[in-house]
Amino acid sequence: MSDVIYFDNNATTRIEPQAYQAMAPYLTELYGNPSSIHSFGAGCGSEGDNTAIRGILEGAPEKRHFVTTAVEHPAVLGLGQHLEKKGYRVTWLGVNEDGMLDLDELRDSLSDDTAMVSIMYANNETGVVFPVREAGEIVKARGIPFHVDAVQVPGKIELDVKNSPIDLLTVSAHKFHGPKGVGALYVRRGITLRPFIVGGHQERNRRAGTENVAGIVGMGEAAEFTAKDVAAEREHVGGLRDQLQKSLVSACPGARVNGAKSNRLPNTLNIAFEYLEGESILVLLDEFGICASTGSACTAGSVEPSHVLRAMKVPPQWLQGAVRFSLSRYNTPAEIAFAADKIPGIVQRLQGLSALGRVGTRETLPGQAS
Ligand code: PLP
């Protein structure tokens, strides 16, 4: 077992050695300008999301309504807020207590003024998987462009864009053992996309700028590696996740698994410990070399409770105490056993320190409504 137990794979993953080796020549001897290569390798996931959404909206300036969900990653959430400031009407679709989307709410939100719909495939904090096929059928029945942020999906569940009602789909290499700062945006033939980065004619006029060749090569290699044996990996990683979940739920009274009743990514466990703060748990986990996260990496360090857990109406005594364990194919049963052995002690120690923990039967925190 290595010194570090890495359970933060929804934040970023370790680069796969073959991807790294494939990139090396493009950073040294193969340095030619790639303008003649016709692949579409955008920047990171955030850039892919921005390219898709801004590119569609700009192509239909007469339509002023944008539909997304309240639990998106900040890449889409922030853009939606920006669009609101620019005068767009934005529908923020809610989720139920299990983090699941309501397809009737989606259907009812659509109008002749709707320029596009963008929803995530799987939630980065809870792992909850949305029914994107059904959602896409509803959206396409109205002839509206449909974008899916699938950044958390590759290697975790099967992804088939060709046989689905998806017009645009974003992935990001560093979430599937590829390099950081490179991603891909799938654009269905026939979809008109205005460039977000304007300038030269690279990438068939869709994104100006000399391509990050080494990054794109590394992403291709990582994609091939990741696409192999997805079913077997899902079973392996899902088994480890389920084991960790079972151990923690039985050893930590008051622990609550967020999104447990929904279809979830097999690698993700979002578990909240009553009356504790996730950040304190992370500090003590770190002493044992265990890396996890309280939610999305982009909000780490912020004291605001997660917008995802708030949208799920997680009761206040669990809102601050969520920890996300996100596994990868590189994790082992020994690492799970080690974590399952150490975490209950950490939780007990913190609950002992916490005045709130000592009155752990209260339903609400002081000053908060139930
Ligand atoms: N979308 C989702 C669902 C994510 O989880 C992330 C990253 O955590 C992003 C978009 C942004 O990707 P990137 O970090 O490559 O910009």
pLDDT digits 0-9 by tens, 265-310: 999 999 999 999 999 999 999 999 999 998 644 445 556 889 999 9
Any ligand 1 atom below 6 A from CB of 73 = yes
Any ligand 1 atom below 6 A from CB of 119 = no
Strands (E), 103-196: 114-120, 146-149, 168-172, 183-187
pLDDT tier, 68 (very low <50, low <70, confident <90, very high otherwise): very high
Any ligand 1 atom below 6 A from CB of 148 = no
- Atom 8, ligand 1: residue with shortest CA distance: 11
Between the CA of 74 and the centroid of ligand 1 the distance, in Å, is 8
pTM across the whole model: 0.91
Say what angle helices 213-227 and 17-27 make with each other, to 10 degrees.
160
Which pLDDT tens digit goes with each residue over 95-153? Answer: 999 999 999 999 999 999 999 999 999 999 999 999 999 999 999 999 999 999 999 99
- Atom 14, ligand 1: residue with shortest CA distance: 45
Eight-class DSSP state of 245? H
In whole angstroms, give the CA distance from residue 191 to residue 364: 50
